[in-house]
Structure 1
Amino acid sequence: MRFMLMVKATGYYEAGIDGGKELYAARAAFQDHMRAAGILQSSEELLPSASGIRVVFPPGGEAPAMLPGPFSPEQEWIAAYTVIDVETEEDALKWALRMPLPPGQGEHIVEVRRLASTVADTALDARTKALSADLQDHLSLLNS
């Protein structure tokens, strides 16, 4: 199952105050650990919302509006995300609890959300099930 770990931005992050070299080293080590475990699919940091553009699609088919950042805090900024492929939601939560975050910058939130299955995921599941069934058949023949 694929999960996205979303690190919510803080006012410090939006102001361009980073966690320093130690935090970047801890994040790199964390990503290396996930890569070694074979679960890391992608991991990126976003620029503050001041560099973004929000496209708002009103109801009724009207033309979309384009709003430049920065965006208000109520919109729950996202500072970074990591996509992992793990067996269970519990596994995803265990990785989220290990996420390096900057010290001394108030409360931090890491949101864990399962990604919707894609055609590729479904095809992989089908191949895995077929290989498993084939292996079971072979084992049955060997045990006979």
Structure 2
Amino acid sequence: MAKYLLIMRGTDESNAAMMADIDELMATTRTFIEETIKAGVLLAAEGLDDPGQGVVVDFSGETPVVTDGPYGETKELFGGFFLLDVASKQEAVEWAKRVPVARGAKIEIRRVPGDDEAPRA
């Protein structure tokens, strides 16, 4: 088994579409979560607050610079995630295809390496 993070990435348009049907989306999301729990693959799932409430700490200069959201040129923002423990990347992909999202949204899938895979100095 391996851990995979399914990162929900939305645009202004997909986020607006999501908010238009929020009750239906929340109901289908609860159903999706129940299915992942029954399958024994869900480790965690969270949605994120509005990007306007966040900050970015930028380390590209001499000292860190903190900028309040929203973030100017950003085209897509992370909206939440599901952390799954599945047998393969393909299984993670199959679960991601079932995540209820608005048209235009994306799901990024990233494997979470185990402790034994961490780079050593």
Normalised by the length of structure 1, the TM-score is 0.71
Greater shift, 86-95 or 11-20, is seen at 11-20
Query: Residues 56 and 64 of structure 1 are in contact (CA less than 8 Å); yes or no, is this contact kept in structure 2?
Result: yes
Give the counterpart letter for 2:53 in structure 1. S
- Cα RMSD after superposing both structures: 2.4
- The 1:63–1:14 alpha-carbon spacing in structure 2 relative to 1, beyond 3 Å, is farther
Question: Which residue is 1:48 aligned to?
Answer: 50
Q: Which has the higher strand share?
A: 2
Q: Which one has a bigger Cα radius of gyration?
A: 1
Question: Which residue is 2:30 aligned to?
Answer: 28
Question: Which residue is 1:57 aligned to?
Answer: 59
Question: Is residue 107 of structure 1 aligned with residue 104 of structure 2?
Answer: yes
Give the counterpart letter for 1:117 in structure 2. G
Cα separation, 2, equivalents of 1:84 and 1:51? 27
Q: CA deviation at 1:19?
A: 3.1
Give the counterpart letter for 1:26 in structure 2. T
Cα separation, 2, equivalents of 1:20 and 1:14? 10
Q: CA deviation at 1:16?
A: 8.6
Cα separation, 2, equivalents of 1:18 and 1:10? 14
- The 1:81–1:30 alpha-carbon spacing in structure 2 relative to 1, beyond 3 Å, is same
Question: Which residue is 1:7 aligned to?
Answer: 8
Q: CA deviation at 1:5?
A: 0.5
Q: Which has the higher helix share?
A: 1
Three-state SS of the structure 2 residue aligned to 1:79 is strand
Q: CA deviation at 1:15?
A: 9.7
Runs of 4 or more consecutive aligned structure 1 residues displaced over 4 Å after TM superposition:
none
Provide the identity percentage.
Answer: 26
- The 1:49–1:113 alpha-carbon spacing in structure 2 relative to 1, beyond 3 Å, is same
